[in-house]
């Protein structure tokens, strides 16, 4: 039984962490909730029938507790570093909400602390755990598309003011969030694209704007990517998209793969006729791979708990989170400078 302490009792904890810990009976138990607003933690404990759970307002006390094996860091982005490092220093395994953090220095500090203390560190990049994307990844890795030349992705919703019901104003404070839609949800699609491609991004060019909302941070962005093998990719993110969407397009030598969350056919593999004398514009066949069960949050949280139980390092590690953070930060730098930016 993995004993979990959660720091931050906002919407991620309410909608993702607690439902998917409570439903993992026999494997996970929430022993402690922490929030600077004590009543918020108390309300969640009552709503989810968390008998015997302790309520704290000081996260430092939580990470020192003997009845906590792992810590969920579900707080504003700028707090991830101090809390994750604090958890690591007290030898707690860590699941940190995306993004890992808002600077490479902070990312390095988190990764080094976890490695030094020998604890697992996972970034909750839930798009990798959505059954649609897991199915797509299997198709890509099978090699059926041949060499992948181009990957495109898009993620968008109406903005955090709707998702969080107007209670998370830190999203619009750049010092606390690190930016707008780019670092909030762009980090999801950037991570998904690089996971699909399985190659390092070496250069980016970005156009980041505030098109609709009267905010000091961005609400739309487009980013072009160059991978280490010379192929290209791109992604878009938006806080002005209605309804919510997550789309990907993967183009290879022998056809294409598309994904569309919520579609009646969420994964479509289209193969073309190739070879001497064939017309590559003609469809050879179209397939609709079977999708697995669960959802992104459920699969991610259950996977992390299983990693702790089995002593297995999560594949969405701190190092992986750092690589995706590099893309986001380089995109902001590219937009500022108006030119391609190399990523070391």
Q: pLDDT tens digits, the chain, 344 residues: what are they?
A: 999 999 999 999 999 999 999 999 999 999 999 999 999 999 999 999 998 999 999 999 999 999 999 999 999 999 999 999 999 999 999 999 999 999 999 999 999 999 999 999 999 999 999 999 999 999 999 999 999 999 999 999 999 988 775 556 899 999 999 999 999 999 999 999 999 999 999 999 999 999 999 999 999 999 999 999 999 999 999 999 999 999 999 999 999 999 999 999 999 999 987 777 777 777 788 999 999 889 999 999 999 999 999 999 999 999 999 999 999 999 999 999 999 999 98
Judgement on whether residues 132 and 120 belong to the same structural domain of the protein? no
The reported pLDDT for the residue numbered 163 is 78
Strands annotated E in 192-343: 201-209, 220-227, 232-238, 245-252, 255-260, 267-272, 283-287, 341-342
Judgement on whether residues 187 and 266 belong to the same structural domain of the protein? yes
Residue 201 CA to residue 323 CA, distance in Å, equals 9
Residue with tokens 């998209």: 241
Look up the CATH number of the domain holding residue 205: 3.30.360.10
Judgement on whether residues 232 and 173 belong to the same structural domain of the protein? yes
Judgement on whether residues 71 and 143 belong to the same structural domain of the protein? no
Residue 13, in any domain of the structure? yes
Residue 321, in any domain of the structure? no
Judgement on whether residues 141 and 19 belong to the same structural domain of the protein? no
Judgement on whether residues 122 and 13 belong to the same structural domain of the protein? yes
Judgement on whether residues 140 and 215 belong to the same structural domain of the protein? yes
Judgement on whether residues 16 and 87 belong to the same structural domain of the protein? yes
The reported pLDDT for the residue numbered 167 is 58
Residue 150, in any domain of the structure? yes
Judgement on whether residues 132 and 117 belong to the same structural domain of the protein? no
Q: What's the total number of domains in the chain?
A: 2
Name the residue range of residue 59's domain: 2-126+297-316
Residue 70, in any domain of the structure? yes
Judgement on whether residues 146 and 248 belong to the same structural domain of the protein? yes
């Amino acid at each position: 039984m993995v004993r979990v302490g959660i720091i931050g009792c906002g919407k991620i904890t309410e909608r993702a962490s607690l439902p998917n810990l409570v439903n993992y009976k026999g494997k996970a138990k929430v022993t402690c909730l922490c929030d600077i607003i004590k009543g918020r933690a108390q309300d969640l404990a009552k709503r989810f029938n968390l008998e015997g759970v302790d309520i704290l307002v000081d996260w430092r006390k939580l990470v020192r507790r003997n009845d906590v094996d792992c810590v969920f860091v579900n707080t504003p982005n700028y707090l991830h570093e101090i809390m994750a490092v604090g958890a690591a220093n007290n030898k707690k395994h860590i699941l940190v909400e995306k993004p890992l953090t808002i600077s490479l220095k902070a990312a390095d500090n988190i990764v080094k602390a976890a490695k030094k203390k020998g604890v697992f560190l996972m970034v909750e990049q839930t798009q990798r755990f959505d059954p649609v994307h897991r199915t797509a990844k299997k198709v890509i890795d099978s090699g059926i598309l041949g060499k992948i030349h181009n990957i495109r992705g898009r993620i968008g919703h109406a903005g955090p003011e709707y998702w969080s019901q107007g209670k998370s104003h830190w999203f619009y404070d750049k010092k606390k969030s690190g930016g707008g839609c780019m670092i909030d949800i762009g980090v999801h699609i950037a991570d998904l694209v690089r996971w699909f491609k399985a190659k390092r991004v070496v250069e980016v060019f970005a156009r980041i704007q505030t098109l609709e909302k009267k905010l000091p941070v961005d609400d739309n962005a487009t980013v072009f990517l160059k991978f280490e093998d010379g192929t290209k990719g791109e992604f878009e993110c938006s806080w002005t998209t209605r309804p919510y969407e997550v789309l990907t397009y993967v183009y290879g030598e022998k056809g294409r793969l598309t994904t569309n969350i919520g579609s009646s056919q969420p994964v479509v593999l289209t193969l073309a006729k190739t070879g001497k004398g064939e017309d590559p514009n003609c469809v050879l066949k179209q397939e609709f791979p079977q999708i697995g069960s669960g959802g992104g949050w459920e699969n991610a949280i259950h996977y992390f708990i299983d990693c702790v139980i089995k002593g297995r390092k999560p594949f969405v590690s701190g190092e992986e989170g750092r690589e995706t953070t590099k893309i986001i930060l380089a995109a902001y730098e590219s937009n500022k400078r108006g030119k391609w930016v190399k990523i070391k």
